[in-house]
Amino acid sequence: MKAPVRQWLDDQQCKDRQLFLVIDSMAEPNPVQELFAKDLMRDYLNLYQGTELSDLADIGPWLIALSESELMQLDTLLDAPERNWGWLASAERIDLPALGNHWRARMLIEEEDQHALYRLQDGRVIAHHLRGLASGQRHLLLGPLASALCWDGNAWSSFDNPIPAPCPPPFETPWLSIPEPPGIARQISQHNLLQWLWEQFPTATAKLAEHVFLDGWLDEQLNQAEDWQWHAQEQHRFLLQYRLQPALASQSFWMPQPAETPEQHFYRCQDFVAHMEPSHS
């Protein structure tokens, strides 16, 4: 166990705080299955279950309360933060349903009639936002949590909440105004697209996941889109939807033709798929 993790855990234990995991079930391999196998899933909550997002519960974030005796069984997770499986938190004795209500009030972003999911289960997102908030604003995001330990993509970072207390709606959301660095923005976009695939094409996505790591496959597709100068969300979704189908993914029509603009290339691929799709639906 790395020194920053050990130091943070020791500090929380000295303060007699309760420990929690915030788990991203879309990490590969799925950490939830690993935790069930180790009999660590005794006091837990799936944040999407029982909400308007219940159809996405299989890929939603989980909250897990931990006892001190269970910490030593977390080494495989804590020694592999690059899996981006989630993050750790502590609190002064709070029941899991109350903590679940706190995060459920923050998991859906509604702006100008647009809906998006806040990736609260991603330690990189939480670390970036907590780092960008003033100390006195952290309670707006962390609420009753006293401290958080997150892998920010490069190192472990800890953040203390000076005002740990319930923060029910309505509340300000200053973290949503913090610009994302390019690397984090790409990662968030990638996870949002993966979640969209699971939501819209669960059977095809599950079948692909039997053969490849989805994060790696998705990264390859987005790199291809970048090479072709397909930057719009519509173009990304089109590419992913039809690359899920083996019969279409191997077709030569995907390659750009000489003197073809990115827009012409995209529309030609759309036309080709429109004529092919009935036989592959």
Last residue of a domain, one of 179, 210, 228: 179
**Do residues 88 and 148 lie in contact, with contact meaning Cβ atoms separated by under 8 Å?**
yes
Side-chain-facing half-sphere of 90: CA atoms under 13 Å: 25
Nearest Cα to Cα of residue 197 among 232, 161, 154, 242: 242
Residue 185, in any domain of the structure = no
Model confidence pLDDT, tens digit, residues 42-69: 899 999 999 999 988 988 999 999 987 7
Model confidence pLDDT, tens digit, residues 11-50: 999 999 999 999 999 888 899 999 999 988 889 999 999 9
Examine the domain organization and report whether 217 and 100 are in the same domain: no
Residue 259, in any domain of the structure = yes
Examine the domain organization and report whether 156 and 225 are in the same domain: no
Examine the domain organization and report whether 79 and 36 are in the same domain: yes
Model confidence pLDDT, tens digit, residues 207-255: 898 888 888 899 899 999 999 999 998 999 999 999 998 888 888 999 9
Most confident residue range from 156-165, 247-256, 267-276? 156-165
- Model pLDDT, residue 245: 87
- Model pLDDT, residue 180: 78
Split into its structural domains, the chain has a count of: 2
Cross-strand partners of 109: 116
Residue 194, in any domain of the structure = no
124 pLDDT exceeds 70?
yes
Examine the domain organization and report whether 206 and 167 are in the same domain: no
Last residue of a domain, one of 149, 179, 209: 179
Residue 122, in any domain of the structure = yes
Cross-strand partners of 22: 63, 87
Examine the domain organization and report whether 14 and 130 are in the same domain: yes
Examine the domain organization and report whether 101 and 236 are in the same domain: no
Examine the domain organization and report whether 85 and 150 are in the same domain: yes
Confidence of residue 113 (pLDDT cuts 50, 70, 90): low
Residue 191, in any domain of the structure = no
Most confident residue range from 29-33, 181-185, 274-278? 29-33
Buried b (16+ CB within 10 A) or exposed e, 51-62: bebeebebbbbb
Residues 6+ apart with CB under 8 A from 164: 91, 92, 139, 142, 143, 144, 145, 146
Examine the domain organization and report whether 12 and 101 are in the same domain: yes
Q: Which domain holds residue 252?
A: 201-280
113-142: average pLDDT:
92
Last residue of a domain, one of 179, 211, 241: 179
94-122: average pLDDT:
89
Residue 188, in any domain of the structure = no
Confidence of residue 281 (pLDDT cuts 50, 70, 90): very low
- Model pLDDT, residue 280: 43
Tell me which of 117 and 139 has the higher pLDDT: 139
Cross-strand partners of 89: 20, 148
Residue 187, in any domain of the structure = no
Residue 190, in any domain of the structure = no
